[in-house]
Amino acid sequence: AQSVTQLGSHVSVSEGALVLLRCNYSSSVPPYLFWYVQYPNQGLQLLLKYTSAATLVKGINGFEAEFKKSETSFHLTKPSAHMSDAAEYFCAVSELTGNQFYFGTGTSLTVIP
């Protein structure tokens, strides 16, 4: 089974500062990788996904992530945090069949005005 590790269950940044949320996966085969965002009392929404095309993936709301095979990482970044970015973020890995998603335990992002 694959596993996903998100370093830092809570991250705080100042408004306008860089956002960096870390995700590492365990897989000998490059998987499909996803970042989801969850706003309070809502379901998960897809931010972006990596499916073996470009290693730098751009998503919604100014977020992007870079797939680094040598580091088995898929960190999420945003150059300038906005108050509306405060939410829970989940990294996920999918098996090739699509039968199973493996989710990290999530990172709660707080944006300080």
Residue 29 to residues 4, 25, 42, 95, Cα–Cα distance (Å): 14, 11, 32, 10
Tokens of 93: 């890995």
Does position 96 interact with another protein (CB under 8 A)? The reply is: yes
What phi and psi values does residue 53 have, to the nearest 5 degrees?
-90, -125
Picking from 14, 1, 17, the residue whose alpha carbon sits closest to that of residue 79 is 17
Does position 25 interact with another protein (CB under 8 A)? The reply is: no
> Which part of the chain contacts another protein (CB under 8 A), choosing from 14-22, 38-46, 54-62, 73-81?
38-46
Does position 28 interact with another protein (CB under 8 A)? The reply is: no
Does position 75 interact with another protein (CB under 8 A)? The reply is: no
> Which part of the chain contacts another protein (CB under 8 A), choosing from 10-18, 56-64, 72-80, 88-96?
88-96
Among 21, 57, 76, 106, binds another protein (CB under 8 A): 106
Does position 105 interact with another protein (CB under 8 A)? The reply is: yes
